[in-house]
Structure 1
């Protein structure tokens, strides 16, 4: 049952991968996004803390598919993203909102939600800001994700063949296929908190050094810049 007409509004399925998020940004993210979604599909990628229980608590009352991987699959990210996609589309979604556990959509999305999803676009693009603290984002030659729009929300087309960028890192959150769809660039923004704490930056730097030491799938200079002591930061504005 897809329930596309349940509440008389376009239906959104939140699709998310989580791992050891209990003491990071998951509560803030799910509390923000909950009013806008109609169901959720979450892949827990081998958490060893209370992440799973937190997902169940915060999404209580919303149809939830929660898949628990016994061990993390992130070292081969494309296989993990395919798993996320397959579990999500198995629920026959209308719209898929694909956000990571440390990504938070700005509140103005709630104002334009139904208008955006009632149009002819098949993909909704937003800008992502790499937060380097709770109040500032980074902008320099290596960090300018917010200069571009990228897809976070797509209309699912059952029966279509979907192809992926077959790389173990930086494969993208959606299949490559969606790049050919009609899309729109819109005002709501995504705050990415994955770099906002020093301990997270160190952990991610070490992870990239381990998983992609030759920077075959990423940008070596950007990897090295993660630990810059005086990065160029700009104040976040609402």
Structure 2
């Protein structure tokens, strides 16, 4: 534990001088070794300057994979011995506070099964050099490796949402205080000047049948009365023939 704290302090020192806007990748992971973590980190590592990762109770090689794939990039890796996801807002607050402790410039908040499209790399510096302090993209719920779902229950890609936020040290950050579906960022960032941009986020969390079953069962356990989510959407997770749209680059 002492060694981990020392590592965190060293990584949180003043940022190195860069000729480009500085991005800290902020991420929560849990048992991602055989899922999409490798693809996500290998895609994003060229665009980031530091990473802050909360390993929320993994029992596989997730932590080692993070260290391997982010070798050469300053990494703060915090390992929770027991998962805190049943109270998601406390976990998100932990992620946020650990990220802010590194004195970030821009925070790219992605989950371990979310992958930005390559055009972000082309537009990266231009996107972060304007007056906006929050950058919004569209997220696509992939129902396979090559298609996303679109119907009355699954329309995330029709709206823009924040994934990149510029840190304001003096700002008071308030959260949606719910144990599920609390959001990846504090509510306060809604007050920041923002812009919507073309890069997209491919969310692979639903792309495999076993993951859909696991998530359905998790929501039935953590939110059985759908107090924090949408009951009909929960039930639709296991639809046998959902409407899928081929992904197009």
Question: For this structure pair, what is the TM-score category when the shorter chain's length is used for normalisation?
Answer: over 0.9
Distance 1:230 1:90 in 2: 46
- What corresponds to 1:31 in structure 2? 42
- What corresponds to 1:169 in structure 2? 180
Per the normalisation by structure 1, the TM-score is 0.99
SS at match of 1:205: helix
Instruction: Tell me, yes or no, if structure 1 residue 14 matches structure 2 residue 11.
Output: no
Distance 2:130 2:165 in 1: 12
Q: Which of residues 183, 186, 210 in structure 2 aligns to 1:199?
A: 210
Q: Which of residues 113, 117, 121 in structure 2 aligns to 1:106?
A: 117
Contact kept in structure 2, 1:74 and 1:80, CA below 8 Å: yes
Contact kept in structure 2, 1:2 and 1:93, CA below 8 Å: no
Please give the per-residue CA displacement for 1:120-177, whole angstroms capped at 9, x wherever unaligned: 0000000000000000000000000000000000000002110000000000000000
SS at match of 1:126: strand
4+ long deviations beyond 4 Å: none
Unaligned residue ranges in structure 1 (runs of 5+): none
Instruction: Tell me, yes or no, if structure 1 residue 2 matches structure 2 residue 14.
Output: yes
Distance 1:61 1:181 in 2: 32
Instruction: Tell me, yes or no, if structure 1 residue 80 matches structure 2 residue 75.
Output: no
What is the CA RMSD across the aligned residues, in angstroms?
Answer: 0.6
1:41-60 aligned at under 5 Å gives the runs 41-60=52-71
Unaligned residue ranges in structure 2 (runs of 5+): 1-12
Shift of the alpha carbon at 1:112?
0.4
| Aligned residues between the structures | 237
1:180-195 aligned at under 5 Å gives the runs 180-195=191-206
